[in-house]
Amino acid sequence: MNHSEKAHPMTKPVSFVLCLTMAVLSISKVRSHEPSQGITVEVLAKSENSWDGKSLPDFSQKQTEVTVLRITIAPKATLPVHKHPVINAGYMVSGHLTVHSESGKVLKLKPGDAIIELVDQFHYGVNETDKPVVIVVVYTGTTGTPLSIKEPSKPAQDQKSKP
């Protein structure tokens, strides 16, 4: 590309996915052969459970679909109450996020943290800081399944206890 051309906006996400794929391929090579000089592999998260300890669902009988998102949450923003019907894991790139589950559990995330998210449990996140939060999330579900579902509206008196 010459200097007068601008990079396509999808260049960074595509580059990230390619790097992620290469990392996965490198991990399989490292496991099957002697480690190569200059390659370091660090497992950020690996589990059969979400962050609250509940087992993840089995999708093995349907067509799997993987989606990778970079999510930016504005300063002082509160996400709507929602749930994920699919397995997802994230990596905090920057910022601080507080996640509240419907059962009352709280998880505080900082840069460098990895999270295996809740599945089929309502929750919401809050950026209580003056800086944006950036998190990369990989969703693994089945084709056609939504990544997130907002909590149905409730009468006004029930919303008083929610952010």
Q: Please check whether residues 96 and 73 belong to one and the same domain.
A: yes
> CA 108 → CA 37, 73, 149, distances in Å?
36, 15, 22
Q: Please check whether residues 3 and 68 belong to one and the same domain.
A: no
Per-residue pLDDT at 34 exceeds 60: no
pLDDT digits (tens, 9 = 90+) for 104-121: 999 999 999 999 999 999
Taking the alpha carbons at both ends of the chain, their separation in whole angstroms is 47
**Quick one: pLDDT at residue 131?**
97
Q: How confident is the model at residue 155 (pLDDT cuts 50, 70, 90)?
A: low
Say how far apart CA 115 and CA 52 lie, in whole Å: 10
**Quick one: pLDDT at residue 89?**
95
**CA-atom Rg of the chain in angstroms:** 18
Structure tokens at 62: 């349907």
DSSP tally for the chain: helices H, then strands E: 2, 9
Q: Please check whether residues 86 and 132 belong to one and the same domain.
A: yes
Q: How far is CA 64 from the centre of its chain?
A: 17
Q: Please check whether residues 75 and 56 belong to one and the same domain.
A: yes
**Quick one: pLDDT at residue 42?**
75
pLDDT digits (tens, 9 = 90+) for 20-31: 444 444 444 444
36 vs 12 pLDDT, higher one: 36
Token pair 């920057």 is found at 94
Cβ distance 126 to 98 under 8 Å?
A: yes
Q: Please check whether residues 29 and 53 belong to one and the same domain.
A: no
Per-residue pLDDT at 41 exceeds 60: yes
Give me the residues paired with residue 101 across strands: 123
Say how many domains are in the chain: 2
Q: Please check whether residues 147 and 97 belong to one and the same domain.
A: yes
> What is the residue range of 30's domain?
1-42
Least confident of 97-101, 148-152, 157-161: 157-161
**What mean pLDDT, rounded, does the chain reach?**
78
**Quick one: pLDDT at residue 154?**
59
Q: Please check whether residues 79 and 147 belong to one and the same domain.
A: yes
pLDDT digits (tens, 9 = 90+) for 62-98: 888 899 999 999 999 999 999 999 999 999 999 999 9
